[in-house]
Structures are given as structure tokens and as C-alpha cells.
Structure 1
Amino acid sequence: MRLDMMDGRQRERPAAGLLAMVLLRVLLFAEAARAFYIPGWSIKSYSDGEPIPLLVNKVYSDNTQLQYAYSELPFVCPPSGRNFHGSNLLSGSSISLNLGEVLRGDRIMVSDYELIMGSDDEGHYLCSKEVDRASLGKAIEVVRDGYVAEWIVDNLPGATKFVSTDKTRKYYAAGFKMGYTDFSSESGRPRYFINNHFTIVIRYHTAPGKDGQRGKKVIVGFEVYGKSIGASNRNETGLPADVESPQEGMELRITPNKTHDTDDGPRYADSSYVPPEEEQDGGDESDGATLTIPYTYSVYFREEEGLEWGNRWDMYFVNQEDSSKIHWLAIVNSLVICGLLTTVVAVIFARTIRTDIKGYRESGLEDGKVKLRRSKTRSPRKSGEAGSGLLDPLGGGEAGKDIDGDLSSDDESIEDMTGWKLVHGDVFRPPAYGGLLAPLVGSGTQLIFMAVGLLFLSCIGVLNPSYRGGFVSVGVALFIFAGVFSGYFSGRVYKTFGGQRWQKNCLVTATLIPGLLFATIFVLNLFVWAQASSTALPFGTLVALVALWLLIQLPLVYVGSWYGYVYVGAWEHPLKTSAVPRQIPSPQPWYASGLRSILIAGLIPFLVIFVELLFVFKSVWQDKSGYYYVFGFLAVVSTILLVTVVEVAVVSTYAQLGAENYHWWWRSFLTGGASAVWVFAYCVWYYAVKLKVQGFVSGLLFFSYSGLACVVYGLLTGTVGFLASYAFVRRIYSAIKAD
């Protein structure tokens, strides 16, 4: 007994030691995690005298789609490469970015601006930048096009403070102007002034918890105000003599050299004439003339007692809260349209279909067999056996077997059969070009998973503006992971259509939509790269995207396709397909065929979302800071949209079957995605009326990315319409199946 007890104690000691080791590692990991600052989640506190890095990002404008890295502008102070008070940050060093930040054009770098917590600096000289005529032309372009600069402190973008229209609330507008345009009172020509003095205001609050007890502070606001101060309004140290009301701004102009020598002698020597283009740009780029732009800044720290760290982003959205009434109007509008459609669908299900099925069962059931009269309008098959190519009409396999099912020409006919009941032997006949429809449906399910995941994570606060680039990064990750669902649904639909070459279907599914997206981005990247814009993706990023596509997504699509096609197999239909296709009555009603009816059906889902689209477009194309935050409204409208697409697809399919037209597969998909055509038309209207975009490349970027977004939207809603119609057809024909 004693030996057993000793053995038991010896066995317990390793277990206890293992448990202690696990707990120790957990504590060490938790302690190490406290040393890291996770933007948007961890609170970073500063002690008095501690340096605060100021990061420069990019400049962007509402008048163009081209962005530029701030540090690469030829007229700003270049980084000196020095460190900050013993910290490991060197000015000019780039900050590592996630994939979303790179895709949205961010290029973040440590600057030379010195911010010391709690220490005001009323005047600090940064540098004097000497610019030639080419660099001056770039500065004029940036000021003329209304570019806004984005700086970052403690993950907060630099902002300009404004007062709401009722003067009761303050709010932030992200970014600050690079300069301003004035007009000469004499000639009426525009004059461009660059902001070369920046007043930086850091608003802080006492840190919560033990850090606050130790006197540490957290940053709750970052404001930047730019001013243009001429060189003549500065002292010998380069600091401005009067910051509040400078007498003269820093004009971007080099005096034209009227006596620049030519082969024929002095140019304009005997005349006061100067060409307008030379007076604007400063003259000939080869004359060696330069302009010196001095840069200075001031720093002020102010305590903000009424604003906690957890609510510091609210200042960026105060002005947008005024639009909440319009968001509610969008929801009411969507609910009204969806409610009317729901009533129509309820009538179809509760009265029409139920009555038809009840009468059909009462008159057509005998001895457990469904007895139908054979149609006299049968026509023999016009083509041979269907091939197995991806673009060939699919008709082979289990779904297309030559079976009469429960039909019998000797049975007594049912004279009162009309509409959708007459096509019971053809309703599950595989569609033409099913090898293309299956990959589209698979890609649509992939996009559905990605969209639902993004909306869910945004609504619960995981994806928020403080997680810079997170929306795009997580979206790409969800899209790649959802390749499993894409392959599964594509494989099962392909097997249901009777397809035989599932590996080729898998390859098409994995390359059709991702290949289209990558090819478009690659071509557009060439145009943007030619403009030296930060929107151009680096070569390494393109290689990473290809690797994610071919090395991760493609295998996932293959696994999903194998599971859906080989392991699970095709969906079983409640009725067998007849041997001879039924001839479709001609002419068909307008609502059962033609592009016009599809577009009319697609107009209804568009009416559900067009109000909310205005806010989405404004956030994407105008407020390029990308701080769209009303994901709760967007989730509600999106849910109503999906319900509307389901109902429109079901009503359209029922109307088509009622016209004895059993080619509903493609039509259900096109009906669900038809609202994408209206969304693109809305994009054209928005470009012509709302935007002030200039230049060929900017217009190309707008319409290309808008077209891609509409394709993605159309695939998503088209897949919803297809799956809803398929479930609806299976349901109503299951009800008339013989017991």
C-alpha cells in the first residue's frame, strides 16, 4: 500500500510541475504582451518629457484619385536620419505596413518633428528647402488640386477642428490643407501659397489605472493647422515674426527671367511682356533659378478633461451624426419596398401555390402515382449527347438521365393542369453552359462569406478606423479562406448539372474571379506607377498577392471541390427529368423572357440601397480618409437587400415557370445580379454630378474600380438569387411528388 501511495505521489509531481510551467508561461506571455502597443486596442501612455513620434503618411485630394507619399514630395524637408532622445526610431525610417495599408496607398515614415510630452514649443525651425522649377511645378499642382496631408500621432490622424452648424459641438476633419489659392487683384490670375508653418496641438488626458497614478498621460486629440508665412516675415533664425497674422504668405513663384539669353539676344529685353505660362510656373526649367521655402512649426499640449481615450475617435464622427436621419430614411425606404415584396411572396405561397398543389393532389393522385397527361407539343431532342466541356451545355450524368419518371401515357389526363405544373418533367433539366454557371455560383458564395464576415466584425467593433488598413486586410484573408466554400458549392452545382471534369471546373473556379481582379489591378497599376503615385503597388506586394492566390486559395478551392463533387455529390431532385424536352410556348410574356424584364426586376433591389450608397460613395471617393463608421445601418440595409433579392428572384422564377418556361437557372442568377447594372449607372451619375475628378488616369481608376465593385456585387446578389430560386423550385415540386 505504501509503495502504491509513493508511486501515486511520483506520478502527481510531473503533472503538477507541468501545470506550474504552463501557468508560468502564460504569465510571461501576458507580461510580454503588455510591452507591445496594439493600435486601436492597447492604450499607450506617455510620461512628461517622453518623446512622441510624429509619422507622415500621404497626401490625397477630392479632385483626383492619385495619392502621393508625403516624404517623397520634392518640396518638403527631407528626413535627417537622426534619432529621438535615445529612442530606437530614426527619422526617415519606414513603418511596416499591413496588406490593407499598402493597398490603400499608405506610405508611413518617421519625421523630424520633435514632440515632447508636456513641453510647449512656440517656435521651432525645421529646415529651408531649396526647390527648382520642376519641384515648384509639383508644389503648385498639389496646392491647386486641393491636396490634404495626413500625419499620424499615436495612431490618430492629424485633423483640423471645426464647429458644427448649430455651434454646439466640435468635430474633426481628418487632414490639413497643403496650401491655398488666391487671385491677383491686378491680373486676376491665380496665385498659389504653400503652408510652411504648422501649429500642432496635442490634447491629452490623464491615463487610466496605475499609469494615471504615476502621472502618465494618454493622447486624445491631434490637431494640425497650417499657415503660409513668407520669407520676409521671419527673423535671422528663420522663425516667423508673427504667426497669428502674417503680413505676407509664402507664394510659389520664381520671378521670370525676362532677360534670359537666347541665340538672338536677350529675350523680352525691350518689352514688358511675359507669357502667362512662364509667370505661372516660374519660367524656363533650365535657367537654374530656385526658390527657398523655410519650414517651421509650433507645438502646444492642452489637457482635455471631458474626453476619454476610449472615445477619442468620436470627434471624427460628430459631424456625420447629423446624417443619421437620412440613414433612418434609407432603412424606412428599404423596409417599405421589402414589405411590399414580402406581401406578394406571401400571397404566392399561401394562396396560389398552395391552392394549385391541393387541387393537383386531389385530381392527380391515384395508387401512389402522379398521373399527368402527356403534352402534345413535345419535340425531339435537337442535339446529341451533351459534352462535358466547361462551356458546353451539360445534360449527362445522374441529373440528366433518360427517365420518364412517373409519367404514363395510358393514365387518364388531368385537364385542369396549367402553368408551372406542366413543366415538372423539365424544370430540373441542366442549363446550357452550366460549366460556367457553376464557377460563378461558387465565387458568389465566396463573396457572401467575405461580406458577411466583414460586416459582422465591423458591427462588433473589431474592424474600426483605429485599425488602419484592417478592413482591406481582413477582407483579403476572408476571401482567401472562403475558397473552400467556393470550391464546395461550385463542385456540387457542377455535379448536379451532370459535369464530368471536376478538376477543370475547380481550376476555372479558382482563377475566374481572382484572375479578373488581379489582371485589372495589374493593368491599372501601370498607369498609376507612371504618375509616381503612392497608390501604385510595389512589386513585392504584387508577388505576395499572386502567392496568396496560387499557393493558398487554389489548394483550398481544390479541397472544397473534391469534397463537394466527389465526397458529397450532386443534390437529389424531387422529380426525374423527362427524356424529351418540352417545347416552350411562343411568344413568351414580357415578364418571362428578355433583358428588359431582368433589368426591371433588378431595379427593385437597387431602390432598397440607393440612399445608403450615397454615404458609401462619399466615404470611398470623397472622404479618402476612409472613416466610414455606420456599419450598423449598413448591416441592416444589407440584410433587407438580401431579403429583397430573394423575394425578387422567387417571384421572377415563379412567373417564368407559370409561363411554361423551364429555363430558370441562368435567369434566376441574372435577376439576382441585375441590380449591379443600376449601381454602375449610379456610379456614372455620381461621377458626373458629385465628383470633381480631373484627368484621364483618375477617371480610369474610378470607372475601373467601380466596375470591379459592381461585378463583385452582381456575383454576390446573383448567387443569392440562384440559391433562393433553387430552394423555391425544389420546395414546390417536392410538394407534388408522389408519396
Structure 2
Amino acid sequence: MAVLKGPIEIRILIFACVMFFSLNVHIHGFYLPGVAPQDFQIGDALMVKVNKLTSTKTQLPYSYYSLPYCRPEKIVDSAENLGEVLRGDRIENSPFVFKMRESQMCAAVCRVKLDKKSAKALKEKIADEYRVNMILDNLPLVVPVQRPDQDNVVVYQHGFHVGLKGIFVGKEEKYFIHNHLTFTVRFHRDIQTDSSRIVGFEVKPFSVKHEYEGQWNEKTRLSTCDPHTKRAVTNSESPQEVEEGNEIIFTYDVDFQESEVKWASRWDTYLLMADDQIHWFSIVNSMMIVLFLSGMVAMIMLRTLYRDISNYNQLETHEEVLEETGWKLVHGDVFRPPENPDLLCVYAGTGVQCFGMILVTMIFACLGFLSPSNRGGLMTAMLLLWVFMGLLAGYASSRLHKTLRGTEWKKIALQTAFMFPATVFVAFFVLNAIIWGQKSSGAVPFGTMFALVVLWFGISVPLVFIGGYIGFRRPALEEPVKTNKIPRQVPVQAWYMNPVFSVLIGGILPFGAVFIELFFILTSIWLHQFYYIFGFLFIVFIILIITCAEITVVLCYFQLCSEDYQWWWRSYLTSGSSAVYLFLYAAFYFYTKLEITKLVSGILYFGYMLIVSYVFFVFTGAIGFYACFWFTRLIYSSVKID
């Protein structure tokens, strides 16, 4: 076997590629497959799949078969990608099998007798308002609901409730299960070929205490629901109670209805499930305000700097030079390396990695590659992009390290590769252990955890070192002015230039640029709704970048005019402080919009939002830092320094 020879970075790159393709073979689903339309003929079998049970009250998903539902002869798990596993999706087959364009009435699935454990499990899920999720031809099951405030307006809820509770007898509360499902499958028919494509999958659940005569078998007729007498379930006058020892018979109807909706437009209904009024006027108004403020800030900065630079360049006498004040006075200290420069380099490189990941993800989403039909595709893409953006992280951190007169690029690359990912991974591992303790299907399996570690160590870490090696080999950026040997004393600052105050003020405007969109993002995550307006999100993303850069440059300019040259860390924290407001808004959303009452669910919510806020801090902080870095180099290279 030949020994691989060549530069170290080439060997590491080849090793990373080999690790990636090995994972792609062993862990199915890392690609983003396109969903092609499927044509069905009359009588073709339609397999209904079941997904996780979800609740907005607990945020803990559970497997469909964790409840005493009817089971097929053999439960088969569908292929899941990495994003689906991390989301807690558990897609499995079910005993519900339809025949294309052949309606059925009162089809009995099975009979279940509840024991103490199963009755308790059903009551808990009904009390927590869990919903059952099913899939047919990659379309999720929805429940049409008439809006009480608007006539002839129907909204669609994702999945149907396990059951309902109520009807107090004394002080006892009764629980009833939805054991009869009336499915409606909408299809679009091709007139020429007579083939059909599924464009809708709806259900109306009922709770019915079925009755029959004699001994139960597969051919037993139900007096409460009999296809021979055309007696269908139309009400729930005798609901099926959930109690130990009760017998539950699961039945269903299926009706096929032709629709004018074409296959390409079948997701339109699902994308408008939450609310067809998305307050576009408020969003656009907010965008215009942010753009107006950003334009004003840019104009003020350009006019002020132009006047200052012109005045400084027109000074002729030595006496005039001695009277200089403001930002030019600290030219001998402005590029002095900050305290703890290694940590700054690490966080700057990590911010570049986050920026690259988010930018490419936005582009893919706008092009339609990460639509809701690709379940888990968004999260899978973000993880893979994070791994490969390690190359940019290593390059940025090492290049900045060399600019700050550092020589230990390997140390910086090592910290960049492990500091931020290790923090997030430990937090994620703790939260996953909590989910695992609740026996939820949302707990990430050990195999997936191992795959994440392999992605981290096998691909991300080598790429960070490759980027670090390349970045350190590049020449360091030359300082536009020389740095004095003795640091200048910073004068006493005004109260409004206090570091804590100015940093917190700087984070308000970037947060204001995204907080309306943040509401819809949180709603899609925690209320299990689809998020699809990626085009608008991309515009907000661009506004966020501009806002972070401009507010940091403005406050940095004020700081230098106050003869305070310690701008390195403050520029990072100024725009990064918007993460504080993001977390506070997440807490506000928790108490005003969510109905979470259990401690474990609250810990999971704030734990995950803390991780999101941390990523937002690193991302926005890097934008502000590099904007300020470019700004200071620009203004000090534009004036005459004696």
C-alpha cells in the first residue's frame, strides 16, 4: 500500500473527504432528495405512515406506538435523515391501507383492551393535548377547522388530538379517545392517462363507543357503524371512555374527492395552516423604518468623517497639530493588541463560520431546496454547512492572530475547532439526557450522537486546521499607523460612553430589525407550524448585517472621539449584545404565547433558546467586529500622520 505524500494540508483535506463519503454511505439521508410526483391508478395501494405524537404543552415528542394503537404485523421504520432524527421524527408504517379512488366505510382495524398502564398513558397524552401525526404520499395529515370569527373560512391544524376530556361526574374528569377517523383524500386526475396524484390528506376524528353482537372477529358487524346499512359515524353521542378494562375498537372511513389543485401547488394549504393573515403591513413597515434609520446613520457618518479628514489633512503648522483632539489623537494606540487576543481570534473565526453557514443555508432555502416537503432537510443542511465552514473559521482566526502579532496558529486553530462546538455539544447532551429521562422519542439515539462526533472530529477539526495553516501563511495585514511603545492613558469617559451602557444600547437596533420575523420563527418551532417565507427572511438577514455593521461603526467612532482606543472587544460585544434581547424576547414569548406548565419542558425551552442566543451572539458579534476593524483601518489610512 502506497504511503500518501504531500503537504500536510492536502493530506488532511483528503482525509476529511474520505470521512465525509464514508459517513454518507453509512448514514443514509445526508443528501437532500427531490420529491418527485407519484402517479396512482385506480385500486393502487396507498400506505399511510405514522409520525411522532406532538404537544405544544410539553414539547416532548413520543412514538405513535407508545400508545395502545393498532399495530401492523411488522413495524418498519422509514429512512430518516439526520435532521429528522434530531427533530424527533419517527416515521413508521401503519395498518391503515387505502385503495386509490375506492372509498371505504366503517373499516375495522383492530380491537384493544386497555390495561392499567395503557389507560394511564392515554389519559396523560389526552391531558397534555397530544396530536397524532400521519403521512400519505409525503403529505402530513391535517384537520379542517371552521374559524369562528369568519364565515366560510377554514384553517388547517397539523394532526388530530389523541382524545378529549370533560363531562364531570361529581369531581371526576372523564377522558375519551378518538377511535374513529374519517379520512378525506383529495386527488388531481390526469384526463388523458386517468392517473391520479394526491394533493390533500384530511381527517375528522370521532370518539365512538362501538357496539356489536356475539363474539368479536374480523368480520363482526358493528351496530354503531355498519357499511352494509350505510350507517356512518356522524356524531359522538356515545363517546369511547378511557378506563382500565374498557374495550376500544378502532375504525375508519376514507373518501376520495377530486380536486382542481395541481400537484405542484398541493403544499399551499399546509403553508397557510397557522394563519392566512401574516401581518405583512407591520413587517414591511418595520423594514422601512430600519432601512430609513440605517440610511440616516450612513449619511451622518460619511458627512462627519469627510469633514474630519479634510480638516486634519489641511493642518499646516505644528501648533495646530498639537491642538488635535478626538479620534486622531489616539492613532498611536488604536491598533494595540487587546486583552486576551487569542480568545478574540477564536470568537471572530467562529463568527465567520456561523456567518457562512447561515448565508449558504439562506440561499439554498430561497432556491427551494429546503422546503417543508423535505423533512429535516433544513437542519441537515445547517449541520453539514457548519462542518465544512470550519475551513473559513480556521482561516479567519489564524489570519487575525497573525495580524495581532501572534505566532501560535496551531493553538488558535485547536481552540477554534473545540471551544464553541464543545460548549454547544455539552449543553445539547445535557438537554438530550433530560429528554431521554422522559422516555421521549425526541431523544437523539447513541448512534446519531456518535455520527455528530465523527462529523466534528473527522471533518470539521481537520478543515479548521487546514484553514488555519492557509491563513497563517498569508502575510499579516499592515497597520496604517505605528503603535507607540507606551500605552496612552484613557481619560475619564462620560456616563453614556460607559462600556456596559454603550454595549447594551448597541444591541437594540439589530434586534429591532429581526424581532417581528423572530415571532414567526418561534411559532414554527414551538407551535409545530411550517415556516416557508425564506425570501423575506433573507431580506431581514441582509438588513441585520447592515444594521449590525452600522451601529457598531457609529459607536466605535464615538468611542475613538472620546479618546478611548480599546475598541476591539467592545466592537464585538456591541452588536453581539443583540443576543441578550433575543433571549429576553424568548422569555417573553414563553410566558405570553406558550402553555408550557411542566418544569422539564420549561428547562428544554430555555436550554435550546440559550443555545440559539449563543449562536446569534457569535454571529452578530463577528459582523460588528469586522465592520469596526475595516472602519478603523480605513479612517487612519486616510489621514496624514506626522
For the residues of structure 2 that align with 1:125 and 1:39, how far apart are their CA atoms?
36
Q: Which whole-Å deviations, capped at 9, do the CAs of 1:356-391 have from their partners, x for residues lacking one? A: 2112111159xxxxxxxxxxxxxxxxxxxxxxxxxx
1:578 aligns with 2:484: yes
Q: 2:237 aligns with which of 247, 253, 278?
A: 247
1:348 aligns with 2:301: yes
SS in 2 for 1:112: strand
For the residues of structure 2 that align with 1:533 and 1:665, how far apart are their CA atoms?
45
SS in 2 for 1:126: strand
Amino acid at match of 1:615: F
Give the corresponding residue for 1:218: 197
Displacement of 1:663 after TM fit? 0.4
Give the corresponding residue for 1:416: 323
Displacement of 1:322 after TM fit? 3.3
Q: 2:571 aligns with which of 650, 668, 676?
A: 668
For the residues of structure 1 that align with 2:530 and 2:213, how far apart are their CA atoms?
38
Q: 1:551 aligns with which of 437, 443, 458?
A: 458
Displacement of 1:317 after TM fit? 2.7
**Is this contact kept in 2: 1:205–1:220, CA < 8 A?**
yes
For the residues of structure 1 that align with 2:101 and 2:301, how far apart are their CA atoms?
70
For the residues of structure 1 that align with 2:233 and 2:273, how far apart are their CA atoms?
29
Displacement of 1:662 after TM fit? 0.5
TM-score by length of 1: 0.78
Give the corresponding residue for 2:5: none
1:635 aligns with 2:635: no
**Is this contact kept in 2: 1:605–1:675, CA < 8 A?**
yes
Q: Percent identity?
A: 38
Give the corresponding residue for 2:514: 609
Give the corresponding residue for 2:600: 697
For the residues of structure 2 that align with 1:76 and 1:320, how far apart are their CA atoms?
28
Displacement of 1:168 after TM fit? 4.7
**Are the structure 2 counterparts of residues 321 and 621 from structure 1 closer, same or farther at C-alpha, using a change threshold of 3 Å?**
closer
Give the corresponding residue for 2:445: 538
For the residues of structure 2 that align with 1:496 and 1:121, how far apart are their CA atoms?
73
Displacement of 1:412 after TM fit? 5.8
For the residues of structure 2 that align with 1:234 and 1:310, how far apart are their CA atoms?
48
Give the corresponding residue for 1:523: 430
Aligned pairs for 1:44-443 (under 5 A) are 44-73=38-67, 75-81=68-74, 92-163=75-146, 165-184=149-168, 186-207=169-190, 213-232=192-211, 237=220, 239=222, 240-241=224-225, 242-254=232-244, 290-304=245-259, 306-320=260-274, 322-324=276-278, 326-350=279-303, 352-363=304-315, 414-443=321-350
The farther-off stretch of 226-235 and 121-130 is: 226-235
For the residues of structure 1 that align with 2:159 and 2:432, how far apart are their CA atoms?
25
Q: For structure 1, which runs of at least 5 residues remain unmatched after alignment?
A: 1-36, 82-91, 255-289, 366-410
**Is this contact kept in 1: 2:209–2:238, CA < 8 A?**
yes
For the residues of structure 1 that align with 2:62 and 2:385, how far apart are their CA atoms?
29
For the residues of structure 2 that align with 1:251 and 1:234, how far apart are their CA atoms?
20
Q: Which whole-Å deviations, capped at 9, do the CAs of 1:261-305 have from their partners, x for residues lacking one? A: xxxxxxxxxxxxxxxxxxxxxxxxxxxxx332211111111111x
**Is this contact kept in 1: 2:312–2:640, CA < 8 A?**
no
For the residues of structure 2 that align with 1:234 and 1:117, how far apart are their CA atoms?
32
For the residues of structure 2 that align with 1:516 and 1:318, how far apart are their CA atoms?
37
Give the corresponding residue for 2:613: 710
The farther-off stretch of 418-427 and 492-501 is: 492-501
For the residues of structure 2 that align with 1:600 and 1:38, how far apart are their CA atoms?
41
For the residues of structure 2 that align with 1:469 and 1:183, how far apart are their CA atoms?
40
**Is this contact kept in 2: 1:193–1:252, CA < 8 A?**
yes
TM-score by length of 2: 0.90
For the residues of structure 2 that align with 1:63 and 1:414, how far apart are their CA atoms?
68
Displacement of 1:319 after TM fit? 4.8
SS in 2 for 1:225: strand
Displacement of 1:136 after TM fit? 0.9
Give the corresponding residue for 1:397: none
For the residues of structure 2 that align with 1:498 and 1:39, how far apart are their CA atoms?
47
Give the corresponding residue for 1:272: none
**Is this contact kept in 1: 2:52–2:133, CA < 8 A?**
yes
**Are the structure 2 counterparts of residues 38 and 339 from structure 1 closer, same or farther at C-alpha, using a change threshold of 3 Å?**
closer
Give the corresponding residue for 1:510: 417
Q: Which whole-Å deviations, capped at 9, do the CAs of 1:395-421 have from their partners, x for residues lacking one? A: xxxxxxxxxxxxxxxx66613311100
**Are the structure 2 counterparts of residues 312 and 39 from structure 1 closer, same or farther at C-alpha, using a change threshold of 3 Å?**
farther
For the residues of structure 2 that align with 1:102 and 1:711, how far apart are their CA atoms?
23
**Is this contact kept in 1: 2:107–2:252, CA < 8 A?**
yes
**Is this contact kept in 1: 2:548–2:575, CA < 8 A?**
yes
For the residues of structure 2 that align with 1:494 and 1:337, how far apart are their CA atoms?
34
**Is this contact kept in 2: 1:331–1:636, CA < 8 A?**
no
Displacement of 1:247 after TM fit? 2.8
In the alignment of these two chains, the number of paired residues is: 600
**Are the structure 2 counterparts of residues 238 and 725 from structure 1 closer, same or farther at C-alpha, using a change threshold of 3 Å?**
farther
**Is this contact kept in 2: 1:54–1:113, CA < 8 A?**
yes
Give the corresponding residue for 1:261: none
For the residues of structure 1 that align with 2:145 and 2:233, how far apart are their CA atoms?
20
**Is this contact kept in 2: 1:238–1:294, CA < 8 A?**
no
Q: For structure 2, which runs of at least 5 residues remain unmatched after alignment?
A: 1-30, 226-231
Displacement of 1:609 after TM fit? 1.8
**Is this contact kept in 1: 2:394–2:464, CA < 8 A?**
yes
Q: Which whole-Å deviations, capped at 9, do the CAs of 1:503-550 have from their partners, x for residues lacking one? A: 111011011111111111111111111111011001100000000000
For the residues of structure 2 that align with 1:545 and 1:202, how far apart are their CA atoms?
39
Displacement of 1:202 after TM fit? 0.9
Give the corresponding residue for 2:13: none
Q: Which whole-Å deviations, capped at 9, do the CAs of 1:690-734 have from their partners, x for residues lacking one? A: 111121211111000000000001111100000101111111111
Give the corresponding residue for 2:28: none
Aligned pairs for 1:30-41 (under 5 A) are 41=35
**Are the structure 2 counterparts of residues 219 and 573 from structure 1 closer, same or farther at C-alpha, using a change threshold of 3 Å?**
same
**Is this contact kept in 2: 1:182–1:192, CA < 8 A?**
yes
**Are the structure 2 counterparts of residues 233 and 733 from structure 1 closer, same or farther at C-alpha, using a change threshold of 3 Å?**
farther
For the residues of structure 2 that align with 1:448 and 1:699, how far apart are their CA atoms?
29
Structure having the higher Rg? 1
For the residues of structure 1 that align with 2:411 and 2:486, how far apart are their CA atoms?
29
SS in 1 for 2:386: helix
For the residues of structure 2 that align with 1:422 and 1:363, how far apart are their CA atoms?
14
Aligned pairs for 1:713-724 (under 5 A) are 713-724=616-627
**Is this contact kept in 2: 1:584–1:660, CA < 8 A?**
yes
**Is this contact kept in 2: 1:653–1:725, CA < 8 A?**
yes
For the residues of structure 2 that align with 1:314 and 1:39, how far apart are their CA atoms?
20
**Is this contact kept in 1: 2:212–2:221, CA < 8 A?**
no
For the residues of structure 1 that align with 2:246 and 2:402, how far apart are their CA atoms?
71
Give the corresponding residue for 2:357: 450
